[in-house]
Amino acid sequence: MLSLLSLLLATSQPSLEHLSQSERSLLQAALAAQQAHSVLSVQYEACQSQRDYRQAGLPDLQLLRSAIEAKLQLPYQDFLFASQQAGDWQRLQPRDPLEAGNCDEFIRFRENLDYYELQLFALEIAEPMARSLTENRSEADDTKQLQLLRGYLQRSSSVAVAKVFDRSQLNAIEQANFLHPDYQSRYIFRLEQGWRSVMPVYMGMHSQFNEQDIAKQASEWLIFLDTQKQFIAARPLAEVSALLAELGPAEWSFDLNGNLIRK
């Protein structure tokens, strides 16, 4: 699976040498923020029994994930893989990596936290990439993209077509029934139809987009979910026509009232 993604990244992304300086700075901020969060997680998990650490808290990874996906136009799992494997990306990693301290070094934790917040702020205020780093450019790339999607499909317990939906149209009880308490975004998915295991008609999106970023996102998605109802991947529906043809007619759908219809 990773080898397929490696091929996709190697062949379909533009050379990082051709990025503008602002785009390069954006990618560097994303890499630095991700590395800082990883270091913070290591120290926090080891020391969270201490009051200082509990009061400081660990930054919400979902916030970082959403910012990376919105600004880089790249799925988070692809970003993680590229940050660890792609040679050009390695050269943009921070030159002086942060280190996690022991539990007696709360000052270091605070310093690393300040650094993380600075990099996240730089990421959030930056202009997004004009195009995805893995945007297809040729028939060969389309083939590799289809192979990647087939890999997601192989790992999926459920696959569904979902539309972006305004959660304010749900009442408080419906929101409590379908959404995790930590999910803060106004926008959620309403599932239209799918294959394999049936999923709830409403669920949180793979990223929590804000008002400004949601307008730049697709309105319909193909989502891949594992047995724990966690996202494996999500792709704009317009980019997965070849896989949809292979999937064939949907095995289930929801009507306008949210009633399940099995085909």
Q: Which residue has the higher pLDDT, 206 or 156?
A: 156
Q: Are residues 145 and 86 in the same domain?
A: no
Rounded to whole angstroms, the Cα distance separating 167 from 185 reads 8
Pair (110, 163) in one structural domain: no
Would you say residue 104 lies in a domain? Answer: yes
Range of weakest confidence among 96-105, 112-121, 208-217, 248-257? 208-217
Indicate if the pLDDT at residue 157 is higher than 60.
yes
* Confidence tier at 11 by pLDDT (50, 70, 90): very low
Clarify whether residues 117 and 6 are in a common domain: yes
Calculate the alpha carbon distances from 211 to 123, 142, 185, 198 in Å. 17, 31, 9, 30
Token look-up 């310093």 returns 111
How buried is residue 29: exposed, middle or buried, by Cβ count under 10 Å (0-12/13-18/19+)? buried
* pLDDT above 50: residue 10: no
Is pLDDT at 14 greater than 60 in this prediction?
no
106 is a domain residue: yes
Q: What is the largest CA-CA distance in the chain?
A: 60
Distance linking the first and last C-alpha atoms of the chain: 31
What is the pLDDT confidence band of residue 161, given thresholds at 50, 70 and 90?
very high
Q: Is there a domain that residue 132 lies in?
A: no
Q: Which of 105, 119, 122 is nearest to 46 (CA)?
A: 105
Residues 44 and 115 in one domain: yes
| Residue 133 domain-assigned (yes or no) | no
Say if residue 75 is in the same domain as residue 154. no
Rounded to whole angstroms, the Cα distance separating 102 from 104 reads 5
Q: Is residue 198 part of a domain?
A: yes
Residues 102 and 157 occupy one common structural domain: no
- Does the pLDDT of residue 6 top 80, yes or no? no
Side-chain half-sphere CA neighbours of 61 within 13 A: 11
Same domain for 249 and 203, yes or no, is: yes
Q: Which domain holds residue 49?
A: 2-125
Q: What is the pLDDT of residues 59-74, one digit of tens each?
A: 999 999 999 998 988 8
Residue with tokens 């990306």: 89
- Tell me the DSSP string of 144-212: HHHHHHHHHHHH-SEEEEEEEEEGGGS-HHHHHHHS-TT---SEEEEEEEEEES---SEEE-SS---HH
Asked whether residue 15 falls in the same domain as residue 115, the answer is: yes
Q: How confident is the model at residue 17 (pLDDT cuts 50, 70, 90)?
A: low
Q: Which long-range contacts (CB under 8 A, 24 or more apart) does 78-85 make?
A: 78/5, 78/9, 78/134, 79/30, 79/34, 80/34, 81/2, 81/5, 81/6, 81/9, 82/9, 82/13, 82/133, 83/31, 83/34, 85/2, 85/6, 85/9
Interior angle at CA 126, CA 120 and CA 131, nearest 5: 115
Q: Could you tell me the two tokens for 104?
A: 């007696």
Kindly state whether residue 134 falls inside one of the protein's structural domains. no
Instruction: Indicate the number of domains in the chain.
Output: 2
Residue 207 scores a pLDDT above 90: no
The H-or-E segment that residue 122 falls in is helix 106-125
Mean model confidence pLDDT for the chain:
83
89 and 166, same structural domain?
Answer: no
Average pLDDT over residues 127-143: 64
Instruction: Tabulate helix, strand, coil % of the chain (nearest 5).
Output: 50, 15, 35
- 97 & 169 share domain: no
State the pTM of this model.
Answer: 0.51
Q: Are residues 54 and 90 in the same domain?
A: yes
pLDDT of residue 3: 38
Question: Token pair for residue 30?
Answer: 């994303």
220-247: per-residue pLDDT in tens?
999 999 998 888 988 888 888 889 999 9
Residues 115 and 149 in one domain: no
In a domain, residue 131? The reply is no
